[in-house]
Chains A and B, each alone.
Chain A
Amino acid sequence: MKAVGQREIQRFADGEIIFAEGDTSTEMYVVRAGKIEISKHVAGHSIRLAVLDRGAFFGEMSLLEGLPRSATARAIGNVAVLVLRPGSLLLQIRRDPTFAFELLQQLSGRIRDLNEKLVLKLATAEFGNRLARSAFMMSAAAEYTTARDTGDQPAIR
């Protein structure tokens, strides 16, 4: 751990975990050097949510909401991060006003990405439903046609 004035820089080696899903730590981080992988465990599998580059923020959800970590952050290569604790966030904004602007910009970008993913998922699900409905109708129509041709009673579903 290295401190520059009151500001804290932490360094991590390749593959080292910065925080794990479910942890109760509340620091947020700014990537100063290297890359960070954000992943989440779903049904026993680790799903990569994002790879963050220099200048990106992560861990802000726990800092702002005080809730356990919702994902795992792991270092890719040698990583240096600026650590911000709840008490130092406002001081950082005071010292570095564009920090707040960029934080909001990145959060806004993430909401936009999530919205796009949600819309895509809903559209896919809707398309799947419509496809299933169409397949069912075609199957029912085929059965009805066969039954009519053969004089059988069509099956009621």
Chain B
Amino acid sequence: MKTTVREDRLLVVSDVHMGNRLHRTRRAFREFVQFALDHRYSICINGDGIDIAQLSLSYLVSDLTPSLGLFVRFGDNDLRIYYTVGNHDIALEHFLTDIGRMKVVPFLSVHSGDQRIRVEHGHMYDDMFLRFPRLYFLFTAIGRLAIGISPGFYEALHNFNVGFIRFSNWVLHGFGLFEKKKKEEPQGDSIPGEQPYFREGAENAGLRGFDAVVFGHTHLHGALTLADGVRYYNTGSWFANPHCVAIDQGRIWFGPVSELVEKGDPFPMSEDEVVAAITGVYPVQVLASEPVKLVAEVADR
């Protein structure tokens, strides 16, 4: 299993949750994959891409099938699809290997230009997941049952759960009179609504020589600049306003997937670059005119 890769151009999204009855991704995900293919980006589905924990097989088949046809074309164009495992598809850890065009990995260290970028789902920094894993999976299973009854019932249960956790914390912390627990948490800015452990996880990766860190898992999109200029991104989820990280030769763009698909490539390739990427032949700058012609001939063939 290779977790360190070199990719000049890569798109990262997370938490697509294909197969979950709470939402449909059929068209939007296909457009995203088509965009990647058209603009010569490899893609990384950064965890919870297929919602095995709360799966509806008919939704999965319906949503994934249009994109599968495009996946095949990635290999033909010397592009790759990476799939980092999250907590809703943890069963895929049994397949930590290359499955056809798709490379299933626990995390990814991307070298692009002179930048080192860590791509990881991020559930390993979720305090609840680490401290109470059985409870976490129990809640997920209850969620699956609730979705089976009705998506509306699930939403109501989810809101009740969030309220209950907030109330419990308030009671456990002495009705807000004691702040002991908060002082134990990592200090500093976080993406709004996100536990500070995720930022701390990103900081730890930064200490190990990564220039940028991309997480998912929390369904809260946002970007932060950490100590020593390390950038931290969370691409949110496809339940609402999915975001994306686009990487080109170490440059990073972060924004909504809809903006990427509608407004176009933030790092457009020149014709020479496209030809060079297809043929693997790079025009020499000093002798620009002649080699470019030669490359163009190769491309025509």
Contact = CB atoms under 8 A, between A and B. Distances in A.
Contacts of A92: 204
Interface residues of B, number: 18
Contacts of A102: 3, 109
B106 A55 contact: no
B208 A82 contact: yes
A101 B85 CA distance: 15
Contact of A99 (B106, B200, B208): B208
Interface in B163-212: 186, 200-201, 203-205, 207-210
Given A30-B207, A105-B3, 19 more contacts: A4-B207, A9-B207, A30-B209, A33-B209, A54-B116, A54-B209, A55-B109, A55-B116, A55-B208, A92-B204, A95-B201, A96-B201, A96-B204, A96-B208, A98-B124, A98-B205, A99-B208, A101-B3, A102-B3
**What size tier do the contact residues of chain A reach?**
20 to 34
B99 interface: no
Interface in A72-127: 82, 92, 95-99, 101-102, 105
B209 A55 contact: yes
A54 to B, nearest CB: 4
Contacts of B106: 98, 101
Interface in B197-241: 200-201, 203-205, 207-210, 227
B107 interface: yes
B208 A30 contact: yes
17 contacts: A4-B207, A5-B186, A9-B207, A30-B208, A31-B209, A33-B209, A54-B116, A55-B109, A82-B207, A92-B204, A96-B201, A96-B204, A96-B208, A97-B124, A98-B120, A98-B124, A99-B204
A4 B202 CA distance: 13
A97 B210 CA distance: 15
7 interchain residue pairs of minimum CB distance: A54-B209, A96-B204, A55-B209, A32-B209, A97-B124, A82-B207, A30-B208
Interface of B: 3, 106-107, 109, 116, 120, 124, 186, 200-201, 203-205, 207-210, 227
Contacts of A99: 204, 208
A1 B216 CA distance: 33
A92 B3 CA distance: 20
Contacts of B207: 4, 7, 9, 30, 32, 82
A71 B173 CA distance: 52
A97 B123 CA distance: 11
Contacts of B205: 96, 98
B108 to A, nearest CB: 10
A49 B58 CA distance: 56
A91 B62 CA distance: 45
Interface string A6-47: 010100000000000000000000111100000000000000
Contacts of A32: 207-209
A38 to B, nearest CB: 17
